[in-house]
Structure 1
Amino acid sequence: MEGSVVVPPGKVTIAEKFALFDEYWSPKIIGEINDSYVEAVKVKGEFVWHRHELEDEMFLVVRGSLRMQFRDREIQLGEGEFIIVPRGIEHRPVADEEAHILLFEPKTTLNTGNVRNERTREQLERL
């Protein structure tokens, strides 16, 4: 593979990554796979109702619990559980207490989807 740089694999300790930040609803890039990011995000309270027209999202609960609200129902997630939200589906994540979530989503995904407000993060910090 002439001209390309190959980065050797290394391990990531998820708890160490979460210890590096305190803010809520501000995803941090902790890895990349193909055209997607692995992001760590701390959540508490309600996020904004939104949808992603072109991207699916996966939410994996590492610590705490998360309620994924849809317009017609709600799904409760505990530690070690995940949900995939298909593109185009309006949703709102809610955490009654602080929760630690891993997001798996394409690099093109804007955290607030079709909504732009004070929680929109145009550029994600890399840890």
Structure 2
Amino acid sequence: MSNDPILLSTALASFDALWSPHIVNRVNDYDVRVAKVQGEHIWHAHDNTDEFFLVLDGELYISLREPEGERTVRLPRGAVFTVPRGTEHKPHTATGAAILMFELTGTPSVGDRHDEIPDHVDATTGHTLGS
């Protein structure tokens, strides 16, 4: 990890892949990841950690399966949302978005419980910038 400031726009410009988070920094035991997204991710859950989202550009929707039923939250540019640990969720956006996430280091992008992983979703614990 670099001790120099990282411009998020530069980090996002360094890769083109969708649903492929890149690690820009670390805070304690958490990765700070950025990703470009469009279309649908998969239904998945993280059993041992919450997942924090910040929409840097565009608009993101996150569908959630909760005890009360299924709902979808809309996150416009600048909005934040935390998916509680163990909650099945599916991020999606028709128009595309750039997002920043806080996830416990080593957390797979497809969670611990998930549907079949389609080719357009990168199953990773995060890529280093430049890879």
Structure 1 length-normalised TM:
0.88
Q: Distance in 1 between matches of 2:125 and 2:46?
A: 17
Q: When you count strand as a share of all residues, which structure comes out higher?
A: 2
> How do 1:1-127 residues align onto structure 2 when only pairs under 5 Å count?
9-71=3-65, 72-113=70-111, 114-115=113-114, 117=117, 118=119, 119-127=121-129
What residue ranges of structure 2 are gaps of 5+ in the alignment?
none
Per the TM alignment, residue 120 of structure 1 is displaced from its structure 2 partner at its CA by 4.5
Q: Looking at CA atoms only, which structure, 1 or 2, has the larger radius of gyration?
A: 1
Partner SS, residue 10 of structure 2: helix
User: What is the CA deviation profile of residues 105-124 of structure 1, one whole-angstrom value per residue up to 9, with x for unaligned ones?
Assistant: 10031111122624352353
Task: Confirm or deny: 8 A CA contact 1:43 1:95 kept in the other structure.
Answer: yes
In structure 2, the residue matched to 1:3 is: none
What residue ranges of structure 1 are gaps of 5+ in the alignment?
1-6
Q: Distance in 2 between matches of 1:126 and 1:76?
A: 29
Aligned length: 121
Change (3 A) 1:8 1:122: closer
